[in-house]
């Protein structure tokens, strides 16, 4: 059995994955990045020990997908906008010793896109751009049916493409990044700004979440579905920024499929429609006319991809 761990800025999904990519059991752990990486590893190992006793399986490989710039060769995190203080920690050695299993460490978005490619796309197209939409925005590039890492292993950092020069601050320290508009914190910033500027509007949204500090993208989706114009505008702003970044990637890489994954993608048409509208207006038609835009359905793609990457590297 391989263990797949998808570490986000807020929560980590953990799943035991069969060799065929099926989820045997899964759960979620709070990441609590302020406690540091060693505390997170301890929590993870306690969970695995419980599973081993309960289900009586052996863990042969562990795949760890981490949000940030990962040195896959060394098994360390080089930089993460949402996991400050985790840089330089040797996850491969720490987990390998504790669980007595081989460990692969990779960027979480690469894992999710690889998992999405394996589970969502039956025909296995040659070229796929995957974008993960959650606390942050990540990406993965599958070129000629292989996960593309780039010269330093940082290929696919789609969230830090500039879509608005000098724009809103991003957790990476720059301004105007795609993540600053399409990551959950950027989406909520847009919504709160609209609510502050137009206090007479957004009644449905305010009814669903009266305390704006507790606002979540799911509230915006529910309000948009119920006809709240302000919530729909917040999604439209998000979608337009996302579309600008994605259109540039389509022109550069000319993929067969553009796959959106992650919790924010559950907004469905509210985030997808602005992207499709922007693509329809592009004058250079050929790469957009043949492109398939897909929303992933498997919520465990990150865990599956991480586990199978770890299993593959041990062969």
pLDDT of the residue at 261: 95
Angle at 295 between CA 291 and CA 300, to 5 degrees: 130
Helix pair 217-225, 229-253: axis angle to 10 deg = 110
Which helix or strand (DSSP H or E) is residue 141 part of? strand 137-143
Question: Burial of 197 by CB count in 10 Å (0-12 exposed, 13-18 middle, 19+ buried)?
Answer: exposed
Token pair belonging to 63: 């795949």
User: Residues spanned by CATH 3.30.420.40 within the chain?
Assistant: 2-114+300-313, 125-295
pLDDT of the residue at 284: 94
Helix pair 108-120, 301-313: axis angle to 10 deg = 100
The segments of the chain whose pLDDT lies below 50 read: 315
Total H helices, total E strands in the chain: 11, 12
Report the sign of the C-alpha dihedral through residues 104, 109, 115, 121, in that order.
negative
Which CATH number among 3.30.420.40, 1.10.10.370, 3.40.50.300, 3.40.50.720 corresponds to the domain 125-295? 3.30.420.40
129's CB contacts (< 8 A; 6+ apart) are: 139, 140, 141, 142, 158, 246, 249, 250, 253, 255, 257, 258, 259
What SS3 state is found at 12?
strand
pLDDT of the residue at 314: 52
Q: What is the pLDDT of residues 197-233, one digit of tens each?
A: 999 999 999 999 999 999 999 999 999 999 999 999 9
For residue 82, give the DSSP letter: S
Q: What is the pLDDT of residues 236-266, one digit of tens each?
A: 999 999 999 999 999 999 999 999 999 999 9
Which alpha helices (H) appear in 137-285, and where do they start and end?
A: 179-182, 184-197, 203-208, 217-225, 229-253, 269-280
Cα(172)–Cα(103) distance, integer angstroms: 27
Which CATH number among 3.30.420.40, 3.30.70.270, 3.60.15.10, 3.40.50.10860 corresponds to the domain 2-114+300-313? 3.30.420.40
Burial 88-127 (b: 16+ CB within 10 A, else e): ebbbbebbeebbebbbbbbbbbbbbbbbbbbbbbeeeeee
pLDDT of the residue at 192: 97
């Amino acid at each position: 059995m391989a263990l797949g761990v998808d570490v986000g800025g807020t929560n980590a999904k953990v799943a035991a994955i069969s060799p065929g990519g099926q989820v045997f059991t899964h759960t979620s752990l709070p990441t609590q990045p302020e406690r540091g990486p060693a505390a997170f590893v301890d929590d993870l190992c306690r969970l695995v020990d419980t599973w081993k006793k309960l289900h009586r399986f052996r863990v042969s490989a562990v795949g760890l997908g981490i949000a940030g710039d990962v040195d896959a060769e060394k098994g360390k995190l080089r930089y993460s906008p949402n996991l400050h203080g985790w840089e330089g920690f040797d996850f491969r050695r720490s987990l390998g010793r504790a669980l007595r299993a081989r460990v692969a460490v990779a960027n979480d978005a690469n894992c999710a896109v690889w998992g999405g490619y394996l589970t969502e796309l039956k025909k296995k197209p040659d070229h796929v751009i995957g974008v993960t939409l959650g606390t942050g925005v990540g990406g993965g590039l599958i070129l000629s049916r292989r996960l593309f890492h780039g010269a330093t292993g940082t290929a696919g950092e789609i969230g830090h493409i500039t879509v608005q020069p000098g724009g809103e601050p991003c957790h990476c320290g720059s301004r105007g990044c795609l993540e600053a508009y399409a990551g959950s914190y950027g989406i909520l910033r847009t919504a709160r700004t609209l609510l502050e500027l137009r206090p007479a509007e957004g009644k449905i949204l305010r009814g669903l979440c009266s305390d704006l500090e507790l606002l979540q993208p799911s509230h915006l989706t529910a309000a948009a579905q119920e006809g709240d114009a302000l919530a729909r505008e917040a999604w439209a702003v998000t979608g337009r920024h996302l579309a600008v970044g994605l259109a540039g990637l389509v022109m550069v890489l000319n993929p067969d499929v553009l796959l959106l994954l992650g919790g924010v993608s559950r907004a469905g048409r509210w985030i997808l429609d602005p992207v499709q509208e922007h693509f329809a207006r592009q004058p250079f038609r050929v790469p957009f006319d043949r492109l398939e835009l897909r929303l992933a359905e498997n919520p465990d793609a990150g865990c599956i991809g991480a586990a199978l990457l770890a299993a593959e590297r041990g062969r």
